[in-house]
Amino acid sequence: MIFNLDKDLLRVYEIAFLPMFEEWIEKVNALERPYYPLNAIHFGLFEADAEDGFVVYWIGTRFYQREMDIWNKWIKDAEYEPHPQRKFLYLPFTLVTDDWFIPHSMVSRALLAYVDSEDFAFSIFRHAERITIGFDDGEVYRIK
C-alpha cells in the first residue's frame, strides 16, 4: 500500500530518503551472500525505541508460503537474517515525521522502483517470488 505524499514530502523522498535507501540496498548487494537463493523477502518497519525515528529491516527465506503474509509468520519462519550492519536502515523523524504512513509509503515507493530497475536483475533479491513490506504487528503488503 502506498499513500500519497504531498509535494514537500515527495521532495524529501527524492532528495534525502531515496539516496539513503539506495546506498543501503547497494551495500546489501555488495556484502551479503546468502547460501541459497531467497525466494521470499520481507521488509519490516518498526518505531525505534531509543531514538526518534523508524527502522527498516529485511529478512528472507528459501521457500515462500502463503501463510507468511502475516507478520509473525515471517519472524518465526525466516531462514536468512543478514549481518546486523546491513539488516537495518534507520529513518529519523526529521526525515519522515512521526506519522507511520509516511515511512511506509517512502519505503514502498523505493522498493517498487528498485524491483522495476535494471539493478534488481543482478541483485541478491532477484530470485524472490514474493517481496512484502509491513509494520511489525501490522498488515503485510505485497510489493512483488
Structure confidence by residue, pLDDT tens digits, 56-95: 999 998 887 776 666 556 667 788 889 999 999 998 766 6
Give the C-alpha separation, 45 to 97, whole Å.
14
Give the C-alpha separation, 45 to 103, whole Å.
8
Q: Which pLDDT does position 103 carry in this prediction?
A: 85
Give the C-alpha separation, 144 to 81, whole Å.
20
- 78 HSE (CA, 13 A, CB side): 20
Looking at this protein, which amino acid is placed at residue 20? M
Give the structural domain span for 137: 7-24+37-142
Asked if residue 1 is part of any domain, the answer here is no
Asked if residue 32 is part of any domain, the answer here is no
CA-closest candidate to residue 22, choices 114, 94, 135: 114
Q: How many domains does the chain have?
A: 1
Predicted TM-score (pTM) of the model is 0.88
